[in-house]
């Protein structure tokens, strides 16, 4: 391949595509984590957390 009069090997194209895919997956995962953490904790979750903290204090 010779885009812009520079030699680009298929391996470089594949590496670039893999990098873009990794960046996209990471961005999506961060977005999904932020979205899921927007909701307040439920009463059951808070009670379970308190029980866990109390068990670790003993």
Number of domains in the chain: 1
Q: If you compute the radius of gyration of the chain from its CA atoms, what whole number of angstroms results? A: 23
Query: Is the predicted pLDDT of residue 35 greater than 90, yes or no?
Result: no
> Which pLDDT tens digit goes with each residue over 17-34?
999 999 999 999 999 988
Task: Kindly report the pTM of this predicted structure.
Answer: 0.53
Domain residue limits at 16: 3-57
Left if phi > 0, otherwise alpha if psi is -120 to 50, otherwise beta: which for 5? left
Whole-number Cα distances in Å, 42 to 31, 47, 48, 51:
21, 9, 10, 14
């Amino acid at each position: 391949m010779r885009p812009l009069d520079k030699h680009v090997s298929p391996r470089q194209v594949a590496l670039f595509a893999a990098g873009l895919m990794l960046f996209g997956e990471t961005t999506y995962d961060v977005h999904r984590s932020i979205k899921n953490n927007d909701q307040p904790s439920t009463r059951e979750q808070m009670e379970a957390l308190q029980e866990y903290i109390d068990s670790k204090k003993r």
